[in-house]
Structure 1
C-alpha cells in the first residue's frame, strides 16, 4: 500500500491554493490509522521512503517509485 501523508496533501493544497482539503470528507492517513494501520512516514514530505515489513513492500509517494521497484526486483 502507498499513500500520501497529510503533510504532503496539505503542501499540495497550499501550493495550488485550491482549498481542497476543506472540501473532501477525509484523507488517507487518518482513515488508515483510525482502522489500526501503523503508518510509517519518511522524515520529510515528498522524500522517497520505502518500507519492507516482511513481505509487504510500500512506497510513500511518487518519489519512492524507483527505490521501491529496485527493492522488488532485488527480492525477486
Structure 2
C-alpha cells in the first residue's frame, strides 16, 4: 500500500501540472491572432511531450499538440 501511494502522489502532481499548463496554453491560444504563433505553440507542446516519462500522458499531450498545430494551420486571418 505504501509503495502504491508513493507512485500515486507524483503521478497526481504531474497530472495537476499538465492541467494547469493546458489551461495556460488555452488562454494564450485564445489571445493569439497569428496562425504562425499558434502553430509554434503547438510545436512547443509536442516537444514538451517528449520530456514526459509516462507513456499514456505523453501520447495524450502529443496529440493535443498536433491538434493545436492543425488548428493554427486552419485558422483564417481576420
Q: What TM-score range do you get, normalising by the shorter chain? A: under 0.3
More helix as a share of residues? 2
More strand as a share of residues? 1
Normalising by structure 1, we get a TM-score of: 0.27
Q: Which has the larger radius of gyration?
A: 2
Normalising by structure 2, we get a TM-score of: 0.26
